[in-house]
Amino acid sequence: MEKKQKKFLTVAPFECAWRDDLRFKEAGRGCVAFEAFAHNDVTVVFREQLGSQHYHYKRDNSPHYTVIIGSHRNRRLKIEVDGITTVDEAGLGLCCSSAFQSYWISICDGLISIGKGRNVNVLPLTQNHISLWKHVDCGEYKGEDDMEEDLRDEFGNFDNHQGLGSFLEIWELSDVYFIVGDEETLVPAHKVILAAVDNLDLSLLNQDFISIKDVTYPVLHAFLRFIYTGFTQIPESLLSSLRDLSVRFGATSLVKQCEEVIERFKLNKKLFDSGKNIEISYPSSQPHCSVASFPLGLPVNAQRLEQFHTTGEFSDVDVSIEGHGLIARSHKVILGLWSLPFMKMFTNGMSESVSSEICLKEVSSPKAFKIMIDYFYNGGLNLENTVDTNILLLELLLLADQFGVSLLHQDCCKTLLEQLSEGWNFIFK
């Protein structure tokens, strides 16, 4: 008798997991069974194409079903079809335990059934009297190599790096949340990024939740997208609302861009196709800026960012080196933006993910490490011309390799080659 080994798929908090082998065998008909526990809502999305690790159903324009079974803190069941709420029932207690429980969701020709427990069959039988529960399956847990490959697609200064845009409305490392619209949708963001924008009023960030119920989600999304990527799109009908929100928060660069578009629209309405979104870009001498030039190319005040680094304002992690004590009060989103190892450290569910302190043990040069952290905030390699500069460069080169900071690695190599061409003498320990 052949023994089939069971395989499981584990989904980390605030992440999405997609596997092609989880597709329903028959379009529009199937069932999924799973165990879940969450402090926040347990959300299951059904869509035709696979999504990304950081997919969010609120930004999905393709056909999809979203089932939110709530949590032990939020006893509410919601079902959305293509982003439109069709079921919203409070107090059901479907997900009311702080421990893992079994759940099932079945779909049959538009009929969605949801339940708790195991081995419950609410689906009709097929013509061959074979239960549609045959479509219930589990996928194999994604191994460390696969997870690292996915993270390399999002973080770590690799070729397809999306820069700060990788963190747009992502729950990882977020520390401030907008409450948007009448539905009070939560949208995550990062204080240090918002605080560095143009002339933003820092007092707005004294709280963890910012209520803007008079603003719709599309307007806030366009606002945040401009901040995190230097580019955004919005329908002409919402352009004034985007400008007003930008004025409200002190995002002067976006205010200026919106007003310029509005003036052009007044002069010649034919310039804009009413059926298409208006594109707005942050003016930059480097039109294709990525993390390689962070914070250039974004409406981020570099002086403010360096000031926050110096003072530790809005910091959420203290970085120490074993035997040398505290090195820097930093920001997880900045460290994770530049370094894949840091990003994994803060999101892998280990103690560093929830701690505001980390202690690094395998760092031989605290001085070089501090220069690397400075580099994260200003994007420049600033070294004094001393007799120890060559040794410091080599130590930086090793740190850049250790922490996966490819741009710093390139800058170190470039500087070393320049100094070699100038006849510097290098001392290797």
Q: Evaluate whether 278 touches 236 at the Cβ level (below 8 Å).
A: yes
User: Are residues 225 and 282 located together in one domain of the fold?
Assistant: yes
User: Are residues 32 and 55 located together in one domain of the fold?
Assistant: yes
The answer to whether position 214 is within a domain reads yes
User: Are residues 225 and 119 located together in one domain of the fold?
Assistant: no
User: What is the C-alpha to C-alpha distance for residues 165 and 155, in angstroms, rounded to an integer?
Assistant: 10
Q: Structural domain of residue 34, as residue ranges?
A: 20-142
User: Are residues 42 and 108 located together in one domain of the fold?
Assistant: yes
User: Are residues 129 and 167 located together in one domain of the fold?
Assistant: no
User: Are residues 95 and 164 located together in one domain of the fold?
Assistant: no
Last residue of a domain, one of 291, 322, 354: 291
User: Are residues 178 and 114 located together in one domain of the fold?
Assistant: no
Q: In the chain, what percentage of residues exceed pLDDT 90? A: 32
The answer to whether position 125 is within a domain reads yes
The answer to whether position 200 is within a domain reads yes
User: Are residues 119 and 180 located together in one domain of the fold?
Assistant: no
Give the strands of the sheet with 317-321, arranged side by side.
325-330, 317-321, 357-360
Contact residues for 17 (Cβ-Cβ < 8 A; gap 6+): 9, 10, 11, 53, 139, 142
The answer to whether position 116 is within a domain reads yes
The answer to whether position 251 is within a domain reads yes
Contact residues for 427 (Cβ-Cβ < 8 A; gap 6+): 390, 391
User: Are residues 166 and 132 located together in one domain of the fold?
Assistant: no
Q: Evaluate whether 356 touches 325 at the Cβ level (below 8 Å).
A: no
Last residue of a domain, one of 291, 320, 342: 291
Residue 120 has pLDDT above 60, yes or no: no
- Point out the least confidently predicted range of 172-176, 306-310, 383-387: 383-387
Q: What is the mean pLDDT of residues 181-187?
A: 89
Q: Evaluate whether 241 touches 219 at the Cβ level (below 8 Å).
A: yes
* Domains of the chain: total: 2
The answer to whether position 421 is within a domain reads no
Give 94-114 pLDDT, tens digit per residue.
666 666 777 888 887 677 888
Q: In the chain, what percentage of residues exceed pLDDT 70? A: 75
Query: Can you tell me whether residue 358 is helix, strand or coil?
Result: strand
pLDDT at residue 264, as a whole number = 85
Q: With a threshold of 0.85, does the pTM exceed it?
A: no
The answer to whether position 316 is within a domain reads no
pLDDT at residue 360, as a whole number = 92
From 347, 55, 304, select the one nearest 193 (Cα to Cα). Answer: 304
Residue 249 has pLDDT above 60, yes or no: yes
User: Are residues 127 and 186 located together in one domain of the fold?
Assistant: no
The answer to whether position 28 is within a domain reads yes
Last residue of a domain, one of 240, 271, 291: 291
Upper half-sphere CA count for residue 95 (Cβ side, 13 Å) = 28
CATH number at 158 reads: 3.30.710.10
| Angle subtended at Cα 68 by Cα 64 and Cα 73, rounded to the nearest 5 degrees | 160
User: Are residues 186 and 286 located together in one domain of the fold?
Assistant: yes
